[in-house]
A and B are shown apart, each in its own frame.
Chain A
Amino acid sequence: FCLSADIISTVEFDHTGELLATGDKGGRVVIFQREQESKNQPHRRGEYNVYSTFQSHEPEFDYLKSLEIEEKINKIRWLPQQNAAYFLLSTNDKTVKLWKISERDKRPEGYNLKDDDGRIRDPSTITTLRVPVLQPMDLMVEATPRRVFANAHTYHINSISVNSDYETYMSADDLRINLWNLEITNRSFNIVDIKPANMEELTEVITAAEFHPSQCNTFVYSSSKGTIRLCDMRALALCDKHSKFFEEPEDPSNRSFFSEIISSISDVKFSHSGRYMMTRDYLTVKVWDLNMENRPIETYQVHDYLRSKLCSLYENDCIFDKFECVWNGSDSVIMTGSYNNFFRMFDRNTKRDVTLEASRENSKPRAILKPRKVCVGGKRRKDEISVDSLDFSKKILHTAWHPSENIIAVAATNNLYIFQDKVN
């Protein structure tokens, strides 16, 4: 039994990999911090423990439009660390918030006018004067909202991305992308607007957007039609015209009622190098070279056995699931989730792929994950699982990869799994 509010809706490592943030449907953010490796147990790599928990967003009601605004955290993005405190952006459907997470491990003690508990002392009992002194205390991590970026989105925010200039960031909803300065909350610039003059002519929406990792003028956004547009902010203030347009021609033999749905891109991520980008649609992950617009350079089948089941997946709404995809630190391996708590990794160099499962029953702590296999009909081998036995309620939509090490975080409904490379 799991509360829907506990369902994890986003997972993100910070730039060092020391912190891991998760957001859930209930609007909470939980931050994990990696244990410092101890000299006593050199074989035991740092584990992640809860560092801070706070309520980022609350459910809201827009009275003007009679709309309830969900508190679900859609995305979290860390800012690079510039001082002792940590900063992250978290967003729900309508509002982006900048949170400061800071530590407090000392507190002043010895006030004159109040007790250590905080109660006001009776003035008549005060006979001496003393200077409060900072005393160590148990570590307390507090999160404070530093900026609230609100009222800029008519439609549901699906992405936020921090610019490499560390001064600006963008937020994207179904039809528009806005550029913000991190310091300024009452103003944002609209940089992409694909809303047609007549809403009846609407044919596609924006599904994801990301800034280039090193070029602060470049960003991409993906659409529900399976296309990606790369835009240069130096060219125009309003980037409705793209610099590059990435689209793979459709394979006519795969045409079905649901062709359009499964071609909708659910996630787009630049490689760390900035030379490539990866897109996820319902059945595949594609790697694109930014210099080649007419087709991806690599296509990986995530769960092609679902192609014949699209009608059932449409009925139970699974076809609308938005899977994310991630690169590893060296851009050599890509990872994405699937159903039945399976997640897949593709090695771009060796062209090998593996299916792993995130579940308590099938993996004990410190045990090596066993590769899984889905049997596509015909004789099922002992360890294989048949397509019809897959549990479609157990979906892995959100995963994250440590920026430099082989540590991955996998969100399976309301559970977070952290897997590390085996230490030899």
Chain B
Amino acid sequence: MEFKVEAHRIMSISLGKIYNSRVQRGGIKLHKNLLVSLVLRSARQVYLNDYYQSVCLNAQQHWGQHEEVMDSNQAKSTSERVGYTATTPADPAATTASEPGLPAENTPPEMTIDVESFTESHAAAQTEDVEADHTDCKDKISDCRRRQPSELKGAASSPASGPTAVIAKHLVPDNRIGPKKVKEAKPPQDEGGCGEADADGFVDDDSVAETQLDNHLVASCNRKRRSSEKAVPPESPVKKPKRAPSSAPSGEEEMDTTNVSSLITIFGSSFSGLLSKDNTQAEAEAGDSDRDSGAGQICCDQVLKNLNPWTTAIVAF
């Protein structure tokens, strides 16, 4: 438990450093930011290890209660969303019942989701894994979609899937991907900055949105492969709030989460500037400009939209 608290603290300190590096004289120091992102990643791993262990225990208890609820709700799901929403109907019941009870556990994954996506973009050695797994996961996506409710139920009842199911609750509450808590964390005034970043990185939201679910699932498959305990498609929850600024979140958050989430919010909105600076440096080089501006956009959008598979869509721009 202490590891979790310590890791949490280190993560928020690291994010603060990255944010402050924007305003430091002399421009962004690549070396220091790289080191900070490595610390961030280590802390996140420890944090998630701890988190999933505790979540596993909770999930095992919850699944016993909600099996029946799942069966009744599965018929309503569309075929495309079977992979995820099959589990979620269970969760609204669980959500209402358990959210007040598990606020501490609910909030961390969102924060770590942002963090993970950030570290992915900043110093991602794992992106190689992503690309390797990408093709495999394409097959998996169709499998996911076609998966029968009964299979899911069976799978979900096992401890290993427990975390996935619980996390999915946070990620796909309704139609939109993105938990309320993350949305709340982003104050409206930051949307302007985010919007600009969006404009830079996303010329065509719609075409990107089409592949959204695919990539969402791909990312989750990738995550599962990479690490057994981390079966989290991280990026989509962050993306959604930016896309739907009009949806006003309700005030549910705990204080400590607010601090960290607002850090991420501020960070996220300013991150486009941070990385566009970092990569505009590279743009000055002859012959590299296209790729680097692409990379700059990629990094920028990575944090804001935060799906590694997104890069393939973004590079096109």
Interface residue ranges, A against B (CB under 8 Å): 64-70, 72, 93, 154-156, 158, 174-175, 195, 197-205, 207, 224, 257-261, 264, 311, 314-315, 317, 320
Instruction: Give Cα distance in the complex from A66 to B198, angstroms.
Output: 20
Cβ 8 A contact of A197, one of B6, B25, B291, B311 = B291
Cβ 8 A contact of B298, one of A70, A155, A200 = A200
Cβ 8 A contact of B30, one of A65, A66, A67, A175 = A175
Interface pick from B33-41, B59-67, B135-143, B203-211: B33-41
Cβ 8 A contact of B29, one of A64, A154, A156 = A156
Q: For residue B123, give the distance in angstroms from its CB to the closest CB of chain A.
A: 6
Interface pick from B49-57, B155-163, B276-284: B276-284
Cβ 8 A contact of A202, one of B26, B32, B34 = B34
Instruction: Give Cα distance in the complex from A207 to B32, angstroms.
Output: 11
Chain A interface helix/strand/loop/mixed:
loop
Q: For residue A321, give the distance in angstroms from its CB to the closest CB of chain B.
A: 11
Report whether A314 and B122 are in contact in the complex, using a CB–CB cutoff of 8 Å: no
Chain B interface helix/strand/loop/mixed:
helix
Residue of B nearest to A311 (CB): B10
CB neighbours (8 Å) of A66 from chain B are: 277
- Known pairs A224-B35, A260-B39; A200 contacts B284 (CB<8 A): no
Interface pick from B124-132, B172-180, B186-194, B248-256: B124-132
CB neighbours (8 Å) of A64 from chain B are: 280, 284
* 20 contacting pairs across A/B (C-beta < 8 A): A64-B284, A66-B277, A69-B26, A154-B282, A155-B30, A156-B31, A198-B298, A199-B299, A200-B121, A200-B123, A200-B295, A200-B298, A200-B299, A205-B30, A257-B43, A259-B42, A260-B38, A261-B35, A311-B6, A311-B10
Report whether A70 and B277 are in contact in the complex, using a CB–CB cutoff of 8 Å: no
Report whether A224 and B34 are in contact in the complex, using a CB–CB cutoff of 8 Å: yes
Q: For residue B9, give the distance in angstroms from its CB to the closest CB of chain A.
A: 9
The 4 A-B pairs of least Cβ separation, nearest first, read A70-B26, A67-B27, A199-B295, A174-B30
| Most chain A C-beta atoms within 10 Å of own C-beta, residue among B38, B120, B128 | B38
CB neighbours (8 Å) of B296 from chain A are: 199
Report whether B39 and A205 are in contact in the complex, using a CB–CB cutoff of 8 Å: no
Instruction: Give Cα distance in the complex from A209 to B29, angstroms.
Output: 18
Q: For residue A397, give the distance in angstroms from its CB to the closest CB of chain B.
A: 15
Instruction: Give Cα distance in the complex from A203 to B41, angstroms.
Output: 12
Interface residue ranges, B against A (CB under 8 Å): 6-7, 10, 13, 17, 25-27, 29-32, 34-35, 38-39, 42-43, 46, 120-125, 127-128, 277-282, 284-285, 291-292, 295-296, 298-299, 302, 311
Report whether B31 and A314 are in contact in the complex, using a CB–CB cutoff of 8 Å: no
Residue of B nearest to A203 (CB): B125
Instruction: Give Cα distance in the complex from A70 to B39, angstroms.
Output: 27
Q: For residue A308, give the distance in angstroms from its CB to the closest CB of chain B.
A: 14
Report whether B31 and A154 are in contact in the complex, using a CB–CB cutoff of 8 Å: no
- Known pairs A68-B25, A155-B30, A257-B10; A314 contacts B39 (CB<8 A): yes
Q: For residue A205, give the distance in angstroms from its CB to the closest CB of chain B.
A: 5
Residue of A nearest to B280 (CB): A65
Report whether A154 and B285 are in contact in the complex, using a CB–CB cutoff of 8 Å: yes
Residue of B nearest to A197 (CB): B291
Instruction: Give Cα distance in the complex from A154 to B281, angstroms.
Output: 5
Report whether A201 and B125 are in contact in the complex, using a CB–CB cutoff of 8 Å: yes
Cβ 8 A contact of A72, one of B26, B38, B285, B302 = B26
- Known pairs A68-B26, A70-B25, A70-B26; A201 contacts B127 (CB<8 A): yes
Residue of B nearest to A174 (CB): B30
Report whether B38 and A156 are in contact in the complex, using a CB–CB cutoff of 8 Å: no
CB neighbours (8 Å) of A207 from chain B are: 31
CB neighbours (8 Å) of A93 from chain B are: 26-27
CB neighbours (8 Å) of A175 from chain B are: 30
Known: A154-B282, A195-B282, A257-B7. 20 other contacts (CB 8 A): A64-B284, A65-B280, A65-B284, A154-B281, A155-B30, A174-B30, A198-B311, A199-B295, A199-B298, A200-B122, A201-B128, A202-B123, A203-B123, A203-B125, A204-B34, A224-B34, A260-B42, A261-B39, A314-B13, A314-B39
- Known pairs A69-B27, A70-B25, A203-B125; A155 contacts B10 (CB<8 A): no
Instruction: Give Cα distance in the complex from A70 to B123, angstroms.
Output: 25
Instruction: Give Cα distance in the complex from A259 to B278, angstroms.
Output: 25
Instruction: Give Cα distance in the complex from A198 to B275, angstroms.
Output: 13
Q: For residue B2, give the distance in angstroms from its CB to the closest CB of chain A.
A: 12
Report whether B38 and A261 are in contact in the complex, using a CB–CB cutoff of 8 Å: yes
Report whether A258 and B39 are in contact in the complex, using a CB–CB cutoff of 8 Å: yes
Cβ 8 A contact of A199, one of B6, B26, B35, B279 = B279
CB neighbours (8 Å) of A260 from chain B are: 35, 38-39, 42
Residue of A nearest to B43 (CB): A257
Q: For residue B32, give the distance in angstroms from its CB to the closest CB of chain A.
A: 5
Residue of A nearest to B27 (CB): A67
Instruction: Give Cα distance in the complex from A380 to B218, angstroms.
Output: 59
Q: For residue B88, give the distance in angstroms from its CB to the closest CB of chain A.
A: 31
Instruction: Give Cα distance in the complex from A65 to B298, angstroms.
Output: 18
Instruction: Give Cα distance in the complex from A136 to B281, angstroms.
Output: 51
Instruction: Give Cα distance in the complex from A386 to B31, angstroms.
Output: 32
Instruction: Give Cα distance in the complex from A175 to B34, angstroms.
Output: 12
Instruction: Give Cα distance in the complex from A155 to B38, angstroms.
Output: 20
CB neighbours (8 Å) of A195 from chain B are: 282
Q: For residue A20, give the distance in angstroms from its CB to the closest CB of chain B.
A: 26
Q: For residue B237, give the distance in angstroms from its CB to the closest CB of chain A.
A: 20
Report whether A205 and B34 are in contact in the complex, using a CB–CB cutoff of 8 Å: yes
Instruction: Give Cα distance in the complex from A4 to B35, angstroms.
Output: 25
| Most chain B C-beta atoms within 10 Å of own C-beta, residue among A195, A199, A201, A311 | A199
Instruction: Give Cα distance in the complex from A291 to B98, angstroms.
Output: 63
Instruction: Give Cα distance in the complex from A65 to B302, angstroms.
Output: 21
